[in-house]
Structure 1
């Protein structure tokens, strides 16, 4: 594990981010705080893909389950595989978002926002309201995800990174 996270020349930053996010979401029960001081929760849940090897020996394992501990994905990490995709849930106040994040290019898939109430057919003056609310909810989710990435980068670029890598290794070995 330490070799996997310690060699930045061989590792895509997105893979480190998703691994750290998974670790951080479990050891802190998903508790994060934005740079504005607002609390939010972020969890890696239900579905994780790990990948290892190169060329013809490339292996990918996707583990999913609604109440799964994702043990096979953890085993893959301990064998040197890297997190390539994860299902993430973000909650703040009464709002909740769910999305899939790919490590390769930080692309989002299947972003689900909180439900937006449809406009009343009789209200002519605010037909754009639901659309604008949906855009606001998407931006809110991206802001929280950016905040988590900022926190990761601060950790990754700090002198404490080696200690974090050790704690990640301990987290991984405890869950095997």
Structure 2
């Protein structure tokens, strides 16, 4: 597995070794020993989630607060998405900055999003099956978010805004500045 740190500390792109043959492929999507050895981070994933979405579906930018903050390891099983992680760690030199990575069934890349980040994605293919591991359990009372089109973040989602399909809940999310007030 190749692990590359992004411009945001403790946020990594993982590229598993893929073994292809006439039957298909095999890959190890996560190995805790390898991950800890390469990154120096110890994670204990306790919950796996999966979603299926159509082209233009934008989910995010979401996070969990306090004792329910979550680190995530995200990947695409089918299709292609633009995956985005925003650094919300107030003591970080990259606070308010983001990374965006195309994750797809073809490139098999994964993104490790540490605690203290907001996360979201938009589907670039006709459909996508998105899977992620979390190191903490979801808690509705601890959920938070930032509006996808926050001007201070200026995220290029790679699709025209008219093509987005966004939940009512996500359309009501505040700006980064609002959550800091």
Give TM-score, length-normalised by structure 1.
0.28
Which structure dedicates a bigger proportion of its chain to strand?
2
Which structure dedicates a bigger proportion of its chain to helix?
1
Greater relative CO (CA pairs within 8 A, separation 6+): 2
